[in-house]
Chains A and B, each alone.
Chain A
Amino acid sequence: MKGDRVIEFHLDTRSGVAPYLQLIHQVRQALRLGLLREGDQLPTVKDVVARLAINPNTVLKAYRELEYEGLAAARPGVGTFVTRTLSDASLAAHGPLRQDLQRWLAKARRAGLDDDSIEALFLNTFRAAAAQDIA
């Protein structure tokens, strides 16, 4: 079973984000990046708690949430498996978009922005765009 394990969870206790949410984010992230595909088995609850030293209920809750979202399904006695991918079409677009971003980053550096300023600018723009989308 160990060989089949595709992803490994980690936990940031200082982030303030509830641990079960962190697990869900990490699964979604792995799905988006194509690290997890349909049919892959998620780590068993025992594996996760043995690694992270967290309450098993936290993992169960995260997996239930993933099932509810239709991303995973539990096969009793076997484990929890991925039932859907999030990457499909969008994965192909990652390459060109990354190139665009790299070009943009180079431009920002030339304009004299340091790392913090770049991050702040990105986040501001991201949020503003999100707000416009809602409106």
Chain B
Amino acid sequence: MTAVLEARGLGKKYGRRRALSDCTLVIPAGHVAGLVGPNGAGKTTLLHLAVGLLQPTSGTIAVLGGRPAESPALLGRVGFVAQETPVYAALSVADHLRLGAWLNPGWDNDGAERRIEQLSLDPSQRAGKLSGGQRAQLALTLAIAKRPELLILDEPVASLDPLARREFLQHLMEAVAEHGLSVVLSSHLVADLERVCDYLIVLAASRVQVTGEVEELLATHYRLTGARRDPASLPAGQQVVQASHTDRQGTLIVRSEGPIHDPAWTVEQISLEDLVLAYMSQAGEADRVRRSGLGVVR
């Protein structure tokens, strides 16, 4: 399988502020990839780099094998739904479909019109009068009807109520099933992504913390509880993601390719949410240490 997105040492600075550092990442085709991270982690920056709205300050990024937005042809193969799903407030729903047809050679007008009908949107309605959920659906319809191979969505459901959120994801998954497109979508909530994603990228503190297929990640991460002991005493191949302990008890989140047989531990599978949180808090810790300049004195 080829990669839909490939980043090597990718970085972006705004003035002196680093939004993204040394990001190396390969997202294979055929996945619905979730990009998770706390607000301000660099998710939007990464996605904007991927659609060519931003230029990297260091490193390279390739999307579908080309430099983002390098040509109209490549632009046509990548669909994008920006955060807050901007639409032209003064134009009607029908105008937006026309806009899509004018600007995209591969436009699927029947599909778009059918979708608008399914959503029971009034074509003559001004886009500025739509609800948040309807606006998001319109933006998604536009992005899907250009028939992209890769669809990139930036926090598409963050501002939607639960029903609109579900409807949006239904629409999205239906398009994935129908057209077989690859998807990268970001969210700061794991719960939004659990059902839909089979690939996960955790981005925190401007860096990629972990990436891989969801099933594989779930199969290789464990929660170990037992008497407190030095995490360094774990066998090779077992990597501690997060450690917390009381005076007596220790709890570790561990990544291990093989099963864990040590009888001193109680071994549990962990949920996707716990896994993501473990990586995020680890990143937060490392970031604090890096920023305070104290290093690893303790």
Tell me whether A132 is interfacial, beta carbon within 8 Å.
no
Q: A54's contact among B30, B171, B178, B195, by CB below 8 Å, is which? A: B195
Tell me whether A102 is interfacial, beta carbon within 8 Å.
no
What is the CA–CA distance of A59 and B198 in the complex, to the nearest angstrom? 12
Within 8 A of B (CB), among A1-59: 11, 13, 16, 18-19, 45-46, 49-59
- Is A56 a contact partner of B195 (Cβ separation < 8 A)? no
Which A residues are in CB contact (< 8 Å) with B195?
11, 13, 19, 52-55
- Is A55 a contact partner of B32 (Cβ separation < 8 A)? yes
Tell me whether B122 is interfacial, beta carbon within 8 Å.
no
Query: A13-B194, A13-B195, A19-B195 given as contacts; is B170 within 8 A of A51 (CB)?
Result: yes
Q: Could you write out 6 A-B pairs with CB less than 8 Å apart?
A: A11-B195, A13-B194, A46-B174, A50-B174, A55-B195, A55-B197
Which A residues are in CB contact (< 8 Å) with B266?
none
Main SS class of interface, B: helix
Main SS class of interface, A: helix
**How many residues on chain A are close to B (CB under 8 Å)?**
18
What is the CA–CA distance of A53 and B137 in the complex, to the nearest angstrom? 14
Tell me whether B196 is interfacial, beta carbon within 8 Å.
yes
Tell me whether B173 is interfacial, beta carbon within 8 Å.
yes
Considering the complex, give the chain A residue whose CB is closest to the CB of B197.
Answer: A55
Q: A55's contact among B166, B171, B198, B269, by CB below 8 Å, is which? A: B198
Tell me whether B271 is interfacial, beta carbon within 8 Å.
yes
Which A residues are in CB contact (< 8 Å) with B166?
53
Which B residues are in CB contact (< 8 Å) with A53?
166, 169-170, 172-173, 195-196
Q: Which 10 A-B pairs have the closest CB atoms?
A: A53-B169, A49-B173, A50-B174, A56-B177, A46-B177, A53-B170, A54-B195, A49-B177, A45-B177, A55-B198
Which A residues are in CB contact (< 8 Å) with B176?
49, 55-56
What is the CA–CA distance of A56 and B196 in the complex, to the nearest angstrom? 8
What is the CA–CA distance of A49 and B198 in the complex, to the nearest angstrom? 14
- Is B194 a contact partner of A50 (Cβ separation < 8 A)? no
- Is A57 a contact partner of B174 (Cβ separation < 8 A)? no
Chain A: minimal CB distance from B170 (Å): 4
- Is A56 a contact partner of B173 (Cβ separation < 8 A)? yes
Considering the complex, give the chain A residue whose CB is closest to the CB of B269.
Answer: A16
- Is A50 a contact partner of B271 (Cβ separation < 8 A)? no
Within 8 A of B (CB), among A46-75: 46, 49-59
Within 8 A of A (CB), among B242-289: 269, 271
Which A residues are in CB contact (< 8 Å) with B269?
16
What is the CA–CA distance of A46 and B175 in the complex, to the nearest angstrom? 8
Chain A: minimal CB distance from B143 (Å): 17
What is the CA–CA distance of A55 and B185 in the complex, to the nearest angstrom? 13
Question: Chain B CB within 10 Å — which of A16, A19, A57 has the most?
Answer: A57
Which A residues are in CB contact (< 8 Å) with B271?
16
If A16-B269, A53-B170, A54-B173 are given as contacts, then 5 extra A-B residue pairs at C-beta distance below 8 Å, sorted by A number, are A46-B174, A49-B176, A49-B177, A53-B172, A54-B196
What is the CA–CA distance of A16 and B274 in the complex, to the nearest angstrom? 12
Within 8 A of A (CB), among B159-192: 166, 169-174, 176-178
Considering the complex, give the chain B residue whose CB is closest to the CB of A20.
Answer: B215
Which A residues are in CB contact (< 8 Å) with B171?
50
Query: A49-B173, A49-B174, A49-B177 given as contacts; is B196 within 8 A of A57 (CB)?
Result: no
What is the CA–CA distance of A16 and B197 in the complex, to the nearest angstrom? 16
Which A residues are in CB contact (< 8 Å) with B197?
55
Which B residues are in CB contact (< 8 Å) with A19?
195
